[in-house]
Amino acid sequence: MRLSPLVALSALLHAYIGWRLVPAWSAWPVAQGLIAALLVASALLMPGGVFSRRARPGRWTLLRTWAGLLFMGLFSSLFVFTVLRDLALIAAQLWQALATPWAGFDDAVRLSGRAVPLLALAVTAVGFVNARRTAAVVPVDVPIRGLPAALHGFTIAQISDIHVGPTIRREYLDAIVDSVNGIGADMVAVTGDLVDGGVPELSDHVAPLARLRSRHGTYFVTGNHEYYSGAEAWVKELRRLGLRVLENEHVVLQHEGETLVVAGVTDYSAHHFDPSQRSDPQAAAAGAPADALVRVLLAHQPRSAEAAERAGFHLQLSGHTHGGQFWPWNFFVPLQQPFVAGLHRLRALWVYTSRGTGYWGPPKRLGAPSEITRLRLVPDTR
């Protein structure tokens, strides 16, 4: 979509919000003017957040991007709450037409019109704090049937969907790396969507990944956003930083005398960008030791799970969904993905879907906190 139609659509949707909410503030002209000005600024700046990567890099571009993405988060709540308010008012009007008239209807219209922008601002502020804090470490035990004693407690630190870009920079990633290193994991898994932008502008901001420490190293698989940002260049850069990038392949780890297979696939949608990059769990498992009792697959999208289960993996680590990131979008994730967040079972396969360690687009998280996941293999005693 070109910028002009997007600006027009933005103006139309903001005009709807203004039409429904601004009159409720007529008793306070100053507040009414501020809300109207806020909506105009949002309508003009929000499209700039979407198209920020097309602009020339620089301080003003960064500021415009920040403003546009902040307004995008605010607009989302304003629009949703305005629509919900209108549906409630329509239901109230129908009730009045079919049953007893409600003397307080006009007061409800006025008070709800004042409540919506205040609630949207509050929700956006809380969501901003949630998004900008360093993700908490979430412990998860994964029960594996027949787990060798030497692999009891084998620990994987998973980070995913950081989206280093206009609003997530080096300092943000530095704090994540410090947290991961504090886990003392046996290995680190980075399950895609690390970046939103090219190597030239973001290489310095991704550099902290070179500090990741674990017994068996750090493994990375591509997400869809790597393909938007130049996957081939990013694979080279991450290998330069010391990460092992797994592209439909596996490595064999020897841990306390036992064998563990760690495999990785390209993103589920990679073939749309490069036919030679089609995601293939079977290829990733090919040649793995037949006696390996634990096989772990890194796959950015949860919908790789069916193929992963057929390929004989025991655990799949994924991301992509952000857990919906903020309400109400979490209700739409199941339309595309089989799992939204957390640990789930698909026949013989466990699938863990991270809610993500950063965020995409608006710096806003609500009802879907970011996470650094500490996964520990434990024996299945059922």
Tell me how far apart the alpha carbons of residues 146 and 129 are, in angstroms, rounded to a whole number: 43
The pLDDT score that the predictor gives to residue 51 is 60
pLDDT for residue 5 is more than 80: no
Residue 56, pLDDT > 90, answer no
Return the pLDDT at 1.
47
Give the mean pLDDT of 226-241.
Answer: 96
- Domain architecture of the chain: domains with CATH: 3-131 (no CATH), 135-379 (3.60.21.10)
Residues 121-132 have a mean pLDDT of: 97
Distance CA 141, CA 293 (A): 17
Q: What is the mean pLDDT of residues 243-266?
A: 97
Q: What is the overall mean pLDDT for the chain?
A: 93
pLDDT tens-digit readout, 282-316:
999 999 998 899 999 999 999 999 999 999 999 99
- Tell me the average pLDDT across 137-159: 96
Q: Which residue has the higher pLDDT, 55 or 272?
A: 272
